[in-house]
Chains A and B, each alone.
Chain A
């Protein structure tokens, strides 16, 4: 389980942004890809622990799940995988490793107040 160190990384990034901008952070919006290797439930639990005794204590973690999007060279289109257990175009069935989304582990926005 490496979610605690990931959670601490999220808190560090948010604390850094709040200090730089001179704002209070009430919520952190995270994009979490299905291929990020991070388990959402474990991360939610770890986040609370990681926030303790920091400026982020009491803040909320809001996770946006990002599905795996691949590019299908046959359809010439981006397609959403039906499952991470099958890297094939859900329309035509062609196997593809051209992953366009799904590896995200990104703090993309903060809810802040002055």
Chain B
């Protein structure tokens, strides 16, 4: 055998995922559907938040959801109460969603019949950050019970997200949540990030966030028609 030599290859390890994600994004754009993904730690309140989002948008908009979970279909059952189309992606042992799973799950859906599609990732603040799902907007959720420094502990996922949602605000006083400290943490790892503070349970703050989504949909469609 000859002496080893170094050859340059330059291959992006996640290229396959990125290629599918790009194709999905183009598919979403041409169908005129605005796609929002949700990431958070387990128990931050993603499913309740999504249930309320679907229910409140539904009178005026056509909405649907994909839900990633390790083993159960409980979330899909809960979300089905909103009467919106919901499909569960059971990931088995995989701790995150990948673009190919989204593509497979959507293969028998007509995206042209939708205004909003929500993708709830597996509860995990580490692994989902590496995988583009073709979404238009990535929301990162943190509940007031998790502590103000959560963004500093998981800077990569907060940095990869577009918008932060602070949930379970009805418990803020009980846990002495320091809003300024939380905002400082978020802005340190993702300067300029828009933050919504709300309670899915009481509905306080939901209106402002839903108006934001509706505005995003309108902007996406305005750009798509140029």
Which residues of chain A have a CB within 8 Å of any CB of chain B?
Answer: 1-2, 5-6, 9-10, 13, 17, 21, 23-24, 26-27, 29-30, 35-39, 84-88, 95-97, 105-114
Compute the total of residue contacts between A and B using a CB distance below 8 Å.
104
Residues of B close to A110: CB separation below 8 A: 6-7, 9
Is the pair B6, A37 in contact by a Cβ cutoff of 8 Å?
no
Hey, which chain B residues are within 8 Å of A88, CB to CB? 188, 191
For chain B, the count of residues having a C-beta within 8 Å of the partner chain is 34
Contacts of B13 in A (CB 8 A): 6, 9-10, 13, 30, 105-107
Q: Which of A9, A21, A106 contacts B7 (CB 8 A)?
A: A21
Cross-chain contact of A84 among B14, B96, B155 (Cβ < 8 A): B155
Asked if A86 and B192 make an inter-chain contact with CB atoms under 8 angstroms apart, the answer reads no
The smallest C-beta distance from A54 to any residue of chain B, in angstroms, reads 16
Given contacts A84-B155, A105-B13, A107-B11, contact A36 B130 (CB under 8 A): yes
A85 touches B189 (CB 8 A): yes
Q: Are B157 and A107 in contact (CB under 8 A)?
A: no
* Residues of chain B having any CB pair with chain A under 8 Å: 1-14, 16, 94-96, 126-127, 129-130, 152, 155-157, 159-160, 187-192
Q: Tell me whether A1 and B7 are in contact (CB under 8 A).
A: no
Beta-carbon contact of B5 and A106 below 8 Å: no
Find out whether the CB atom of A37 lies under 8 angstroms from the CB atom of B129: yes
Residue of A nearest to B153 (CB): A85
Give which listed residue, B1, B9, B126, contacts A113 with CB less than 8 A: B1
Best-buried of B10, B14, B96 by chain A (most CB within 10 Å): B14
Contact assessment for B190 and A87 in the assembled complex, using a CB-CB cutoff below 8 Å: yes
| Contact status A38-B130, CB under 8 Å | yes
Q: A84-B156, A113-B5 are in contact. List 19 more A-B contacts (CB 8 A).
A: A2-B127, A9-B14, A10-B13, A13-B11, A17-B9, A23-B7, A27-B4, A30-B13, A36-B156, A37-B126, A84-B189, A85-B152, A85-B189, A87-B190, A105-B14, A107-B10, A107-B13, A109-B6, A113-B1
